[in-house]
Amino acid sequence: MATGRLGLEETLAALNAALGPGGPVWLKETRPRHLRTRDFLAPRRALQARCGDGQVPELVQALAALQGPGVAPVLRCTPTPAGLELQLQRAAVFQRVLGAAPAYAAPAAGPAPPPRVLVHCPALRADPCALRLGRLRAVLVADHLARALRAHGVRVRRVPATQDPRMAALLQRLRVDWPVAAGRADAEALRSRLLEVLVPPPDGAAPAAGVLGTVCLEGPMEERGRAAGYDPGLRSCVVTDELLATLAELREAVRLCADDCAQGLAPAPDPGADGCTVVHVVSCAEEFQQQKLDLLWWKLDDRAPLTQKHLVCGPVKVAGTSDAPTASEYYELRHRQACKASSLKHGTDLAQDPDWVETFKVLSVATIKFEMLGTAPQSQLLLALDDSGTSTKGTKSGTFVMYNCARLATLFESFGCGVDRGLYPAFPPVRSLDFSLLRDEGEWLLLFNSVLPFSDLLSHMAALPHRGLGLHVTARTETVCKFLLQLSMDFSSYYNRVHILGEPLPHLFGQMFARLQLLRAVREVLHSGLAMLGLPPLSHI
């Protein structure tokens, strides 16, 4: 039997390679009505432009026998008016994937990310009591990006380490994994260099309190900034004690990145490559100031990283008002709504029940993270503060995802109770299961659209375009939220329609165990996706 992890990207690459030189032609199907008859389609017009009609019979034979590492086994390839339709050997794919389900809940070997990344989020220097929603969005994006990079094996440093206990408490409440520091980095070396390059004040007046002086930025702008796309109006920078302390912390973090590499804690960079990629995750209101800081860093520090990139988060608008809440007020609002929704559902106020207190906290954060991270970070976000975000019935909310996570937990708890009562036998070895019994279209939909592509999705999240001169980078931090919402909708539809735990009759056990193994894989993927968001799975809701 063939072994190894199957991959949609490997399969698509092999399908396109079989057509000969040229760009990609094949499409993966995702809609249920198409998946009834095909898994991949080479559209007719694209196929004609690539190969011509005369080669189609030969292609059909070659594609039907397609093989290779990671390539899913083909059942048939058929010419149709729509183009070439290809269907996989579904029972064999079920067997391969569900026999090694944990491998599909971890990142695949995708595009290589930078070996060491410093994730810098200036918003964390704000007063935690006045942290606005735009900056909160940058914080959540930075945390999500750091998690995705670490899952891919990248050594990640995060700055600034929080010193204000109020900020640390807010981050803990929001389940943001960020370091805490007791003191500040030493800025004396930078201060000495600064004194050498300060521009004398024109009138000889002493600078204001906390202001150290002005530095001309034209040198680093001409050397690195102009070609990268920095604002051409950046000519000088007023340096304060706070700005110098920020640079000192960044400088220390880069040094620690180098120490990690020297101690074997991170992959060594390519020979001649810049050792550390710095990604500044900033709100759109902070970008100009961060550009100044970049250029000042290059001006004052000979060891400043050559590669500094900006991931700029778009503004957050609140529907129906111009008076947006702070991050703390936003959390408290979502927490009250979660408690209210639960009391309406269960007919009692559970907010003081110790067993439910943690659940309400998780639901509040899940609502916030799916709202803040479910839109591409560079796009504007329009936020609605009504109760819709905390309803289990709305299929666009984090609460809906957590609800279906709890349904899976309840399903497996019920199966375990059935085993304890002697209704069902213990779960047999996976290799003994007959996956040809999985014939419902919802079962293939879950495997083909959710379990099989998930590891590739994680890999692409970590694939920062870190090379090149461009200042700005984009990160697909919205993909996990969208993926988990679609998975939850597909699972919910299947779960509402199909009775998983059948009658305790021996002739029904084979199909029941095959279905349970499929849902085990769905659970692995769902839990892994939630971990990328810093959310624990819930067992009840």
* Cβ 83 vs Cβ 47: under 8 Å: yes
Choose among 86, 34, 108: nearest CA to 445.
34
Choose among 132, 464, 460: nearest CA to 311.
464
Burial 348-371 (b: 16+ CB within 10 A, else e): eebeeeeebeebbbbbbbbbbbbb
* Cβ 318 vs Cβ 324: under 8 Å: yes
CB atoms within 10 A of CB 534: 17
Query: From the first residue on, what is the mean pLDDT of each consecutive set of 10 residues in the chain (541 residues)?
Result: 79 91 91 94 87 71 86 93 94 95 83 78 94 96 94 90 93 95 81 88 73 90 82 91 92 81 50 68 94 93 89 93 89 91 74 81 95 94 80 75 96 96 95 94 97 91 70 89 96 95 92 97 97 93 78
Say how far apart CA 12 and CA 448 lie, in whole Å.
13
Choose among 441, 434, 475, 459: nearest CA to 103.
459
pLDDT score, position 208? 79
Both tokens of 523, joined, read 């659970």
> Which one-letter amino acid corresponds to residue 483?
F
Domains defined for the chain, CATH in brackets: 8-88 (3.30.1360), 116-316 (3.40.50.620)
Q: Bridge-partner residues for 298, per DSSP? A: none
Say how far apart CA 517 and CA 520 lie, in whole Å.
5
* Cβ 270 vs Cβ 307: under 8 Å: no
pTM of the model: 0.91
Break the chain down into helix, strand, coil percent, rounded to 5: 50, 10, 35
Strands, sheet with 116-120, edge to edge from the N-terminal-most edge strand: 155-159, 116-120, 277-283, 307-313
The secondary structure of residue 55, as a DSSP letter, is G
Say how far apart CA 188 and CA 186 lie, in whole Å.
6
Residue at token pair 């979660």: 338
Strands, sheet with 27-28, edge to edge from the N-terminal-most edge strand: 27-28, 40-43, 83-88, 74-80
Length of the chain: 541
* Cβ 134 vs Cβ 97: under 8 Å: no
- Alpha carbon dihedral 109, 114, 116, 122, in 10-degree steps, equals -120
pLDDT score, position 268? 47
Say how far apart CA 371 and CA 333 lie, in whole Å.
14
By DSSP bridging, strand 155-159 and strand 116-120 are parallel
For the chain, the first-to-last Cα distance in angstroms comes to 42
Phi and psi angles of residue 394, each rounded to the nearest 5 degrees, phi first:
-80, 120
Say how far apart CA 194 and CA 213 lie, in whole Å.
9
Choose among 449, 437, 344, 359: nearest CA to 391.
344
* SS3 at position 120: strand
Both tokens of 343, joined, read 């009391």
pLDDT score, position 22? 84
Cα 421–chain centre separation: 41
Say how far apart CA 457 and CA 483 lie, in whole Å.
9
Say how far apart CA 178 and CA 285 lie, in whole Å.
22
Choose among 322, 288, 524: nearest CA to 405.
524
* Cβ 134 vs Cβ 316: under 8 Å: yes
* SS3 at position 308: strand
Q: Bridge-partner residues for 120, per DSSP? A: 159, 280
CB atoms within 10 A of CB 320: 8
